[in-house]
Amino acid sequence: MAAYVIGQLEIFDDGRYKSYLAGFMPIFQRYGGELLATTNGKTTVVEGEWGFPSTVVMKFPSRTKAEKWLADPEYRELAEHRHKSAKCNLAVIDGVANSNHSKNPALRNLSRSSLNFAGSFRGTRSRSEMQMSGNTY
């Protein structure tokens, strides 16, 4: 089952952070890491509080791969650049084992409440409205 690493960052030393980024991808990809999303500046918080202004979402083939990446001695050494150039929160979460929500009542209810929550934002459009507008989301 896939696992995701969610990071919240506030970079205070761009130069040193660039040193971190320069060595990041080869180690990250060694563990099957895939960069799914990142902010180029600020995260838009729609509810509650968010630790820092930037966000990154990464995917790994499994929790084991994500944890091995985080424990890799080469990555630990590289991460010192991040520790000295940014404040950061990191979390590892598991993906959903079965994407067929109809077989799992808890996930079925979660899916319904998520859809209701997502539709509650003023100014949002349904998926069909977005598709008809020609935009890709």
Q: What would the pLDDT profile of 8-30 be if each residue is shown by its tens digit?
A: 999 999 999 999 999 999 999 99
Q: Per residue in 90-109, pLDDT tens? A: 999 999 987 665 565 555 55
pTM, two decimal places: 0.70
What pLDDT is attached to residue 136?
23
Could you tell me the residue ranges of all domains in the chain? 3-94, 101-133
Q: Per residue in 26-57, pLDDT tens? A: 999 999 999 999 987 678 889 999 989 999 99
Architecture of domain 3-94: 2-Layer Sandwich (3.30)
CA atoms of 77 and 35, how far apart (whole Å): 21
Question: Does residue 124 surpass a pLDDT of 90?
Answer: no
Q: Per residue in 51-74, pLDDT tens? A: 899 999 999 999 999 999 999 999
Distances (CA, A) of 29 to 37, 49, 74, 76, 101: 15, 31, 13, 15, 30
Question: Does residue 127 surpass a pLDDT of 50?
Answer: no
Query: 60 burial class (0-12, 13-18, 19+ CB within 10 angstroms)?
Result: buried
Strands (E), the chain: 3-11, 34-38, 54-60, 86-94
Distances (CA, A) of 69 to 48, 50, 63, 101, 119: 30, 25, 10, 30, 37
**Token reading at 54:** 């930037």
On the CB side of 121, CA atoms within 13 Å amount to 11
Run of H or E including 76: helix 73-83
